Amino acid sequence: MANDTVTIHNNATGEEFEFPLRRGTVGPAAADISSLYKEAGIFTYDPGFMSTASCNSAITYIDGEQGILRYRGYPIEQLATKASFLEVAYLLLYGELPKEQELDDFERVITRHTMLNENLKDFFQGFHHDAHPMAILVGVVGSLSAFYHDSLSVHDERHREISAHRLIAKVPTIAAAAYKHSIGEPIMYPRNDLRYCANFLRMMFATPCDDYEPELIAEKALNLLFILHADHEQNASTSTVRLAGSSGANPFACVAAGIASLWGPAHGGANEAVLDMLVEIGDVKEVRRFMEKAKDKDDPFRLMGFGHRVYKNYDPRAKIIREVCHQVLEEVADVNNPLFELAMELEEIALNDDYFVERKLYPNVDFYSGIIYRALGIPRNMFTVMFAVARTVGWVSHWMEMMSDPNNRIGRPRQIYCGPDQRDYLPISQR
């Protein structure tokens, strides 16, 4: 049918080429140009892949114009307020929300895998005491294939599942250990009687001589943040995991590559940038002056944590996290802390200032998550690590989906070559 194809007309030659349109459940159609070079002898050029669909996926749907985010069809608003993180993890991995027994079994499997091989602990000692926790996370996660090589056949469905379970279970343990190493405290073992988020907080803040029982609001906030950060479609780090996995690399190496991509300040480091901005503003009395600077296109100052590349409306995750952010500040943080007071004043002005409202520059999830992590006592250099803990679920879900796709093939983007044309080698004396 004509409406199921798209025609490309080459003005230079007059030739026309017809390509099929591929449609998903919802969202825009995609022109299947996989045979473009073969038929027309040309490539497409799309820096940042802003208009390119790289795969079929049934995991996450985003409509940035309408402010919609769904995991496996379920609105993020429902999952964030009603589900546990491991319930969402099961949904992302297997496609359906678990029944009671399925969730019990899944939680038991994840809990059983939280321990690290004792020899792996020595690996942490190779890092300098002031190594960034993300550097440690990249290295240790990448090394897991050397310790758990009993189930590394990427073409074996059961092996893939075991590796996915291990990553979901062990990344929080590694993350907490990276933090402990950075502050010179002993690594804390996980406790099998605690829930996923409570266990992680305890591994972060307990010591052998002083246990730690997280407050309920802290556990609730972390559970919410992990759900909101669990997946976000084909972002930079998820695409990195898929591209690495397309070569047949083991899942630990793929996730380590995803962590490295997430480390960038334009991706997982955005909530750190929010704290940097608040420190730069410095005082609540300076907020309005900095808001005016943000409006001036010739001023280098930029508001961090406002607006979103994907969402042209309000970030749906920000709506959910805003309420919990205020609860956390009221219950576990010093609400008179100048930094928190400054952040709330910034939020208030931005939500009511015509300039920001008209441009839909609303506070996004990074604005609130940085404030929450700070209130929970998590240091700034751990913010991106927290993101990685949550996003591991999305990464392994996409990796498993890709590896089970019979049409999966190695990723090989094209380029427009802009270097010198052919030239001849000259002896060094003649150059």
Catalytic, out of 165, 232, 308, 398:
308
| CA 387/CA 377 separation, integer angstroms | 16
Select from 172, 247, 202 the least CA-distant residue to 377. Answer: 202
| CA 107/CA 101 separation, integer angstroms | 10
Residue 165 annotated among the catalytic residues of the structure? no
| CA 315/CA 317 separation, integer angstroms | 5
Q: What is the largest CA-CA distance in the chain?
A: 79
Separation in Å, CA 8 to CA 21, 46, 427:
12, 16, 48
CB under 8 A, 24+ apart: contacts of 116-120: 116/170, 116/173, 116/174, 116/177, 117/147, 117/148, 119/147, 120/144, 120/147
Residue 354 annotated among the catalytic residues of the structure? no
Catalytic, out of 113, 231, 366, 398:
366
| CA 85/CA 254 separation, integer angstroms | 22
| CA 222/CA 196 separation, integer angstroms | 10
φ/ψ of residue 86, rounded to 5: -70, -30
Catalytic residues: 308, 366
